[in-house]
Structure 1
Amino acid sequence: MIWIFLSSGLFLGWSLGANDAANIFGTAIGTKMLRFRTAAIFGSIFVILGAVISGSGAAHTLGKLGDINAVGGAFTVALAAGATVSWMAKLGLPVSTTQAIVGSIVGWDLFTGSQIDTVSLTKIVSTWVFSPLLAGIFAFILFNILKFYLKRVRIHLLQIDNFTRIGLLLIGIFGAYSLGANNIANVMGVFMGSNPFKGLSLGFFYLNDIQVLFMVGGFAIALGIFTYSYKVITTVGRELHKLSPLAALVVVLAESLVLFIFASQSLERFLVSMGIPPLPLVPVSSSQAVVGAIVGIGIARGGGRAINFKKLYKIVIGWFLTPLSSGILSFFLLFFMQNVFQVSTYRPIKYAITEYAYREVPTTLSQAIEPIKGEVFANAREFKEKLSELGIKKEGTGYLLFLARIDSIYIDSMIAKRELDQKWFGKKRIEAVKKLHGRMFVHKWQVVEELSKISDEWKFRSSDRRYRVYNRELKKMYDTIFHVFLIQNIREKFKISPE
């Protein structure tokens, strides 16, 4: 059954491999410098490696946009995104998988009454403009450097040919890795909240549950590369070939760099260590990065005369049309799945100012929320509306949403021993969890509070940029704890009927 629900994500991955591989290897194959089989093998291997090793960075941001907590909802959201991509591609309109999945997630948020993380949404949307712009800047700089070098160094045409051939292969490998690292979030990110997989030990290597999920998605992308990308690659290759092999090489490198920097946690750590503000780790459109890079080449060659403004106009229209179409389709498909097929597309998350939550409320807010103490709200939207009626400002609303969210959690030491992998969590963290055996918690923050008291290993560090990566990794561990010990998940996993 789980593979049926995963099928929409796998289809999205297959589509990504079939279409976006052209942006990486189109030039090499179109110019006959690389055989399709060679490109497909290298592309498949490195797209999977990129997804598994570096995929969690961009996926983390996408996951915050919508906490899709039911596999039926994840299936529907991915289906809406895939259908939108297919429909718009058939109409000949420029389409981005990233924009489609973002629209679908927002549609899920609206359907379920969930809180939309506007900070994450702003980060993602801003990259729709920034990523092609950055690709254009990279292409402009790289093209001029290459042109300057070739003018001053006398290289035989055969040497240039060999250089280009090797360069296209190496940059293609880098591009495949970057594509997997950045775009696996589009393929499997929506399934993170309802991930059916467990961690997997491979001798010297250990893959946590999210990495296993991404590996499955990576195989779907690889399958798309092998089975259907040849036609797209040859078509795009001929189009890019008009640039000349060297110019096209620059385009692919610029695109790959953009995908990489928006996915690499290692680069983020390096920038933070240097005191440089890092770029957000978000999924970006490889196709639009390519267009941005081509524009950069056009400017480097002869200014605006070489730019296809008609195509740019279509892309801008796509920025609005793709997420809007996907969001609307997602909303109606969710309604259809929930009410016609009786498939659970979300687990209702209730909110209440419980006795526990009320103790944590600042004195500046406690009097204002006194009238709703103990009242249960069906979702975040209803709770926010009530807070607005009570005159609670935006800052206070965010904090109260955090405090009031109800997630019934039960800690069991046997489940901890069975489900929590020591290689990832570490012995001290797991022992701390076991010490909470038999305890039930109403709110997630209570678990964080108790574990932090037991072990420093469970404490978040300051919000300083230096600890951003550490805190993000710790949050992933907490998310796993919440998923494993959520009472509803325990009942479903062990077939326990609610009393």
Structure 2
Amino acid sequence: MDIAIWIFLSSGLFLGWSLGANDAANVFGTAVGSKMVKFSTAALICSVMVILGAVISGAGASHTLGSLGKVSAIGGAFTVALSAATTVYFMTKSGLPVSTGQAIVGAIIGWNLFSGMATDPQVLTKIISTWVMCPILAAVTAVLLYKFITQLINRLRPGLFQLDKWTRIGLITAGAFGSYSLGANNIANVMGVFVPSTPLDPISLFNVEFNATMQLFFIGAVAISVGVFTYSKKVMMTVGDNLISMTPVTAWVVVMAHSIVLFIFSSQSLSNAFVSIGLPSIPLVPVSSSQAVIGAVIGIALLKRLPLQWKVLGRVVTGWIITPVLSAIACFIGLFIVQNLFNQTVI
């Protein structure tokens, strides 16, 4: 791969690192926060499953972002990814579990404004609707799961050590499932903008051909893994332990509800199945793991009438609101600088 391509891809790698530090860790945030799974174990499983999900099933959600804005020049793709990554990085520094998807959408809108391209209102409405649907669906799923699992436990009446073992295995399994879904769903945020413009040739390894998109998604997934290991623990503790005090069973319910919601918005097969029975298709849109986790936590808190840390929640919601706005502004300014100061083609 040419060194110039690596320079342009560096912003996507930075965005992948930011996602790993912020969003990807949330699949194990409740497990680590409840001290049922060690951070090192969670980070390792999360990293491996994110890579598998990105390479095997990562193409679905990228089409929706492409419909929002087709960034056709690699200089523009570099700036879009850099703007989103910088926004997520500063939010992460503040300990806020913001959405990488919101950051990349804001950056694409900034590119549309700079280039004079129209932003499709139907696509934008579909994306924003998933931002609202995601935490609500996670809250409902968490409530239903909690009622089911508590009834099951009451019926089986396992001993304390047996319940502890089941919960630990359940948290690891749910976290692995959620990590795979996250890789499939959110890799479009990291490398999707580079797909139209990056000149990569297909390569063959062990008689398996990897096209340019799969190569980009693999590189981005590795960057996510690095972010998980190096900088995710602070955000894990914000999501996992600061909003409400959780028991191990509650932690499992939150992780599983989050994982199911991410899978719903990632699965092309599930969307096709809905269409085949006459229902509307599920929008395949990169959604925020942070929003899913926090929605699930709020659902459990309301069900059990637990006290919520409203100050922490207020800071998180504020981050969700300002992230796309800051990212759009940063992208517009960045495109002007890259085009006029560095003489790079961005449109």
Structure 1 vs Structure 2: percent identity of aligned residues? Answer: 57
Partner residue in 2 for 1:119: 122
User: Structure 2 matches for 1:214-363, cutoff 5 A?
Assistant: 214-233=217-236, 236-239=239-242, 242-302=245-305, 306-346=307-347
Which residue of the partner structure matches residue 101 of structure 2?
Answer: 98
Deviation at 1:200, TM superposition (A): 2.9
Letter in 1 for 2:8: F
Aligned mates of 1:169, 1:287 — CA distance in 2 = 18
Partner residue, 2:184 = 181
1:133 aligns with 2:164: no
Mapped contact 1:51–1:180 kept (Cα < 8 A): yes
Does the alignment pair 1:63 with 2:66? yes
Q: Secondary structure at the match of 2:232?
A: helix
- Is this contact kept in 2: 1:106–1:327, CA < 8 A? yes
The answer to whether the Cα contact below 8 Å between 1:144 and 1:300 also exists between their aligned partners in 2 is no
Deviation at 1:37, TM superposition (A): 3.5
TM-score normalized with structure 1 length: 0.65
Q: How does 1:10-21 map to 2 (within 5 A)?
A: 10-21=13-24
What is the Cα deviation at residue 230 of structure 1? 4.1
**Which residue does 2:209 correspond to in 1?**
206
**Is contact 1:143–1:300 with CA below 8 Å preserved after alignment?**
no
* One-letter code aligned to 2:28: F
- Secondary structure of the 2:209 match is strand
- Counterpart CA distance in 1 for 2:311 and 2:204 is 51
**How far apart, CA to CA, are the structure 2 residues paired with 1:78 and 1:124?**
18
CA distance in 1, matches of 2:198, 2:122: 24
Deviates more, 1:177-186 or 1:33-42: 33-42
Change (3 A) 1:8 1:93: same
Measure how far apart 1:275 and its partner are: 2.6
| Contact residue 21 and residue 233 of structure 1 kept, 8 A | no
Correspondence for 1:166:
169
CA distance in 2, matches of 1:209, 1:57: 15
> Where does 1:24-43 land on structure 2 (aligned, <5 Å)?
24-43=27-46
Q: How many pairs align? A: 344
Find the aligned partners of 1:119 and 1:204 in 2 and give their Cα distance. 41
CA contact (8 A) 2:105 2:324 kept: yes
CA distance in 2, matches of 1:176, 1:264: 14
Q: Could you tell me which amino acid in structure 2 is paired with residue 77 of structure 1?
A: V
Give the distance between the partners of 1:92 and 1:244, measured in 2 at CA: 23
Could you tell me which residue of structure 1 aligns to residue 11 of structure 2?
Answer: 8
Q: Distance in 2 between matches of 1:174 and 1:7?
A: 28
Distance of aligned partners of 1:93 and 1:231 in 2 relative to their CA distance in 1, 3 Å threshold: closer
Report deviation, 1:32: 4.2
- Distance in 1, matches of 2:316 and 2:176, equals 27
> How large is the Cα RMSD of the aligned pairs?
2.0
Q: What residue number does 1:142 align with?
A: 145
Counterparts in 2 of 1:307 and 1:241: CA distance versus 1, 3 Å: closer
Q: Amino acid of the residue matched to residue 249 of structure 1?
A: W
Counterpart for residue 91 of structure 2: 88
Of structures 1 and 2, the larger Rg is shown by: 1
Higher relative contact order, structure no. (Cα contacts within 8 Å, ≥ 6 residues apart): 2
Question: Any gaps of 5 or more consecutive residues in structure 2?
Answer: none
